[in-house]
Structure 1
Amino acid sequence: MMLTVSQAVKNGLLRDGVTPYSNVDPILAAEKVMQGSFIFPYVGELDVSKNNEINWQPVFEDNRASKELWFYSFVFLDYLIKAYVITSHDSFWEKAVEFYYSYQNWKTATAESNVKLFNDEHAVTNRSLVFSQFLHVATKKSDARLYEQLGNDLKNHADWLMLDENYVYNNHGVMMDRALLNAYTQLRELSNSMIINVSPSKLWLEKALFRLNMMIEKTFDSKGCCTENSPSYHMLNLSLFGAIDSFLRKNNIENASFNSKLKLALDAANFMIHEDGTLPLIGDSENKASVYVPDSLHKGKYGVGFFPESGFSIVKEKDFFLTFKCGGSSFSHRHIDDTSITLRVGGLDFICDGGMYNYDNSNELRKYFVSYRAHSGFFSEQASAIRFKDFKSAREMAKTTNLISDKSFISIEGENYYSENCKFKRRINIEKIDNEKVSSILIFDSFKSSENDNWKVQFLLHPDVSIKKSDTGFVLKRNSISLFLGFCSNSKFAVNIEPAHFSESYLVCKKTSIIVVSGRTCSLGITSLISVL
């Protein structure tokens, strides 16, 4: 009976914690590689062969950054190594070795190879993990030349990862330090056992621990909410730091404990996840987490989560889920979304944010999804010209100012500073029937300025929501659940249903609709009513 990857790790045939991807079956992908077809995480199949050999400098026309990231991560080597260990078929191993020496020849012969290889810290991190797995398996074979070369490659990558000039102060940096710790412990074991003549530097360990203790404080605010503006990245960082904590314990490496901060982050995660395990599409989020999320983390966990430092306010009830995003301390994975809401009723999304689509900021759809146009908030049209670089710090963009909560009533307040003339303020009142079921949501939006400003109140709808106009507003229906949405204001306004886009997973884009209430004035007060019918 064929082993599974997890069984191979448990038996020591594969090294634990060094798989740099999550959404590709390595065995199936390895079989594709043997047929000349290369499948990559997230970006799918890419044409990277030339004359039946790998083209080490492929040219990608679109989504170039993501495609180059995964190509230069060398995940196809990892597929082949895992397939060899699982199946014991030598052909997988022979192909991996063939590709590795092809890479070595290209690296030696091509002047710009170093630029391609060390252009993206994420790719360098991933590639170091692939080399680590390759080395782990190679040392069980009698090819000293191969594993000495792999050991030197791993050392060179670790030296690069250690340099602060290459470091990125977000989850990529955490992944860099995790890879650095892995390289240190692996080369320490192998050199101490005199299996290879490549020794690690103690500086790798010291640098990784120093940065990780800094990064856990930077990554999670004082209440445990991730500062990277996205439920997806909350889950990823929680998983990363949890794995690093386990790794340090397993390898008897002393370190200041992550426990207190991880406990807060676990508690905050309760609010980030819908009852069914999906995620709201805030910031660079997809509806499914990229890491394993146990049911115990989110099922039956209700209440109000208030994280003003990171700009998140969340109301989670059995059949009701509302988020309010306003403010934050970081630009990482942030969108122009301050004052935006998402709303789920009866386990179904009604009002959403648009999602992320991809990470290629030159892509027109990506630009749309990051912009205010793909969010359900209150905005000045000046938001179309907003650039993160225009702000000295992320905190200057917006803030959540207050939250009041009791059994029958919840009120949340925040404001964005996208207009040069004034603050755009939003207050959300949530009222309950008999202290239990939410009956209505009142959203009060306002500003006062010495100059006229073009303003918009937006509600981006899930693609499965139907819209029916009534005399006083709109009826939003999805399956058997209906909501009423209506407006009143002290100023003239227009209401339009406009085409929009929705992306709940990477590179998937669906058509949907957005209800846009708009006008032009120097002083505004407008109320939006949402009630469950």
Structure 2
Amino acid sequence: MNIEKEREKVEAFLNNKFIVRKGFDPIDISKGINWNYKHAKSANTYQTYMHGLGIVTDLLIVSKKDGNPTLLEHATNIIIDWHKKNPKTVKNYSWKEHPVSSRISNIIEFQEKAGDYKLDNDLFEKIVIDHCEFLYEERNYKFNNHGLMMDYGLLNACKHITDKRLKRFYADKAIYRVRYALLRDFTRKGVHLENSPEYHRLVISIFRKLERVIKELKISIGKEETELLKLADGYKKRIILPNNYYPMIGDTGTIQDIRIKKNYNDFIDYDAGIAVLNNKNVVNEKDSTMLTFKSGYHKKTHKHNDDLSITLYMTGEEVLVDSGKYSYDSKDLVRKHLVSPKGHNAPCISNKNYKLVNPLIEQELMKITKYSNKNGHKIVSGINKLYDDVSLTRHNILSNDDLYFVVDRMVSKDNDLFYQNFNINENAEVVQTDKLTFNLKIGSKEFILRTYERFDSDLATEIKQGYVSRSFGNYENNKRILVKQNQINSTFITVILPKKKYEMLDDVRFVNNKLKYNYKDKNYEVII
């Protein structure tokens, strides 16, 4: 077991530095822990993790690994100090749903494994009951991921309640809320509705922990709920990239799941507004191609203005990337960019944005409209009609030869400046070779992005700066390629493909709702 993360925090603690979460600034505790500490920039976040008492579990883990019981004594003292200084009436973050849920689980794990250093039974029982009362109360409950954490904490605590009536009372409430959350937060295909692969993964991990503790309590979550969880677990295999990283959709950072075996079947969930198209490389799966397409939503949580946007992993490289998350500060300029249409690979309107108000009303105005797979071409299309007086339609075409075509149609009452926005991998070298062609070099591989004139389209192109955030609080500059057109009705046709295939592509046109092109001296016609 690798305990470097825990060891780093424990060693800091022994040197009077409290690291409440890996990567966070250390807090000086030479005069003891100030439970009311407020970080200059992220006060609530630091308070949340401080009062979660993760340091107790860190000390427990390192103590067991090193055979050092002194660390258990430190953990005991931390719990006692926290309990003494943080009654339910205190005005800091100690009695908020997230830290309460984490804290009770950390204290329970300590109590179960600390041997002679565990808490006095009366103190432990009081802590358990205090936490159960908070977690049970409906006025404290959050109908989101934090609510699931509360249910886990409540069920975990039930294992240590001796009063059978009270134990059943708390357990029944938690099971009811868990079942409700499953049916509320997932589509019938098992996609979590908070718009983010990272948070889908997080929620599944919480549900797996819930399953284990429910089994320990010898109760059941339900047959239908169990089947839905299986589908949700399977979605991770569909949304993960061929290199076993997740695409950075909707506040997803850099996460690798090496244990997952990717499923290369195409996946469309109209309800969640997500599509995944794959071309599997049977020789080397990491050199496969995968396209994601996003349009539509059911919840605003982790939702960006990313509708009609794509990510493109082509023959082993992330070519077009999503923006990531950076922070949750809505006033931060980088965050504003990352959640806007120009932070995504989407059709955009200069100086305009759209508002997300009510998904029930808007679901017919912004959605994935169709998917087909025939004659060597996969097509997925969608619409966005939430801009004022503007209708946007995008058609994505992925050929079996790893040629990606995107056809955008923009119709407006005004003479707007429309543009296709391509958010390029931050590690790419981007060189414009002519007015309509760009060479993208990522590592040892090269790709071409080429756009095509159509009738009197009079296209203009531009390279602009953007931002990509692969981890919380950090970002890098990247290049955005803009293909611009100033018309009332605008149509764009752009292709992205490996450079070695570009010389074999010719005569790309879009006529009468048909994409036509010649590749390797063979003519293709794709009806949109």
Same fold, TM-score > 0.5, yes or no: yes
Name the SS of the counterpart of 2:266 in structure 1. Answer: strand
Deviates more, 1:353-362 or 1:392-401: 392-401
Say whether the 8 Å CA contact 2:355–2:386 is kept in structure 1: no
Q: Structure 1 stretch 67-76 or stretch 98-107: which is displaced more?
A: 98-107
Task: Tell me if 1:185 matches 2:159.
Answer: yes
1:218 to 175, 178, 184: 184
CA RMSD of superposed structures (Å): 2.6
Does the C-alpha gap of structure 1 residues 255 and 262 become closer, same or farther in structure 2, counting only changes over 3 Å? closer
CA–CA distance in 2 between the matches of 1:202 and 1:427?
A: 53
Any conservation in 2 of the 1:391–1:397 contact (CA below 8 Å)?
Answer: no
State the shift of 1:389 in Å: 4.7
Look up the equivalent residue of 1:403 and give its one-letter code. Y
Contact 2:409–2:491 under 8 Å retained in 1: yes
Query: Conserved in 2, the CA contact under 8 Å of 1:417 and 1:424?
Result: yes
Aligned to 1:93: 72
In the alignment, what sits opposite 2:335? 366
Residues 261 and 382 from structure 1, CA distance in 2 versus in 1: closer, same or farther, beyond 3 angstroms?
farther
> Closer, same or farther in 2 for the Cα pair 1:101/1:242, shift >3 Å?
closer
The correspondence of residues 346-385 of structure 1 with structure 2, limited to 5 A, is 346-381=315-350, 383-384=352-353
Asked if structure 2 preserves the Cα contact closer than 8 Å seen for 1:326 and 1:399, the reply is yes
After superposition, give the CA deviation of every residue in 1:253-306 in whole Å (9 maximum; x if it has no partner).
1331333112222332222111221111111111215xx6523x32xx312111
**Aligned mates of 1:128, 1:523 — CA distance in 2:** 59
Aligned equivalent of 2:210: 244
Question: Do 2:437 and 2:450's aligned partners in 1 also have CA atoms closer than 8 Å?
Answer: yes
Residues 142, 264 of structure 1: alpha-carbon distance in 2 compared, 3 angstrom cutoff:
closer
- 1:103 and 2:82 matched: yes
Letter in 1 for 2:296: G
Residue matched to 1:263: 230
**In structure 2, what is the Cα distance between the partners aligned to 1:40 and 1:370?**
28
Within 5 A, what are the aligned runs for 1:349-498? 349-381=318-350, 383-384=352-353, 386-389=354-357, 395=363, 398-406=366-374, 408-432=376-400, 437-438=401-402, 440-471=403-434, 472-487=436-451, 488-489=453-454, 490-498=456-464
1:134 is matched with which residue? Answer: 110
1:272 corresponds in structure 2 to: 239
After TM superposition, the score normalised by the length of structure 2 is 0.85
Q: Which runs of no fewer than 5 residues in structure 1 stay unpaired?
A: 6-22, 193-198
Look up the match of 2:251: 284
In the TM superposition, what are the counterparts of 1:7-406 in structure 2 within 5 Å?
25-49=5-29, 51-108=30-87, 113-119=90-96, 121-137=97-113, 140-141=115-116, 146-188=120-162, 200-257=166-223, 258-289=225-256, 294-295=259-260, 297-298=261-262, 301-318=263-280, 319-381=288-350, 383-384=352-353, 386-389=354-357, 395=363, 398-406=366-374
Structure 1 position 126, deviation (Å): 1.1
Distance change (3 Å), C-alpha of 1:346 and 1:531: closer
Whichever residue aligns with residue 310 of structure 1, its letter is A
Q: Structure 1 residues 232, 92: CA separation in 2 closer, same or farther (over 3 Å shift)?
A: same
Q: Is the 8 A contact 2:295 2:366 kept in 1?
A: yes
Task: Check the 8 A contact 1:229/1:283 in 2, yes or no.
Answer: yes
Secondary structure, counterpart of 2:189 in structure 1: coil
Q: Give the fraction of aligned pairs with identical amino acids, expressed as a percent.
A: 22
Contact 2:47-2:94 at 8 Å conserved across structures: no
For the Cα contact (< 8 Å) 1:183–1:200, is it kept in 2? no
Contact 2:343 2:423 in 1 (8 A): yes
Deviations 1:212-264 (A, max 9, x none): 11111223211122222111122222222233223322331133133311222
Q: Which amino acid aligns with 2:53?
A: F
Report the secondary structure of 2:468's partner residue: strand
Q: Please say if residues 306 and 313 of structure 1, whose CA atoms lie closer than 8 Å, have aligned partners that are also in contact.
A: yes
Q: 1:514 aligns with which of 466, 480, 495?
A: 480
Deviation digits for residues 430-459 of structure 1, max 9, x if unmatched? Answer: 222xxxx32x22211112222233433111
* Residues 242 and 289 in structure 2, CA contact (< 8 A), matched pair in contact too: no
- How far did residue 482 of structure 1 move? 2.2
Q: Which amino acid aligns with 2:35?
A: W
CA contact (8 A) 2:48 2:94 kept: no
Change in Cα spacing, 1:24 to 1:381, as seen in structure 2 (3 Å) is farther
The answer (yes or no) to whether the contact 1:66–1:360 under 8 Å persists in 2 is no
State the SS of the aligned residue for 1:173. helix
Amino acid in structure 1 at the alignment position of 2:379: S
Change (3 A) 1:85 1:477: closer
CA distance in 2, matches of 1:236, 1:293: 16
The worse-fitting range, judged by mean Cα deviation, of 320-329 and 444-453 is 444-453
Do the aligned partners of 1:336 and 1:383 also contact (CA within 8 Å) in 2? no
Aligned partner of residue 287 in structure 1, secondary structure: coil
Q: Distance in 1 between matches of 2:83 and 2:268?
A: 52
Letter paired with 1:270: K
Pair 174,126 (structure 1): closer, same or farther in 2 beyond 3 Å? same
Distance 2:82 2:236 in 1: 42
Q: Distance in 2 between matches of 1:496 and 1:68?
A: 44
C-alpha displacement of 1:76: 1.6
Counterpart CA distance in 1 for 2:209 and 2:368 is 32
Q: Which amino acid aligns with 2:124?
A: L
> Contact 1:162/1:207 (CA < 8 Å) preserved in 2?
yes
Question: 8 Å contact 2:76–2:117 — kept in the other structure?
Answer: no
**Which secondary structure does the structure 1 equivalent of 2:93 belong to?**
helix
Is the contact between residue 134 and residue 150 of structure 1 (CA under 8 Å) also seen in structure 2?
no
**Normalising to structure 1: TM-score of the pair?**
0.84
- Kindly state the Cα deviation for residue 520 of structure 1 after the two structures are TM-superposed: 3.8
Cα shift at 1:43 = 4.0
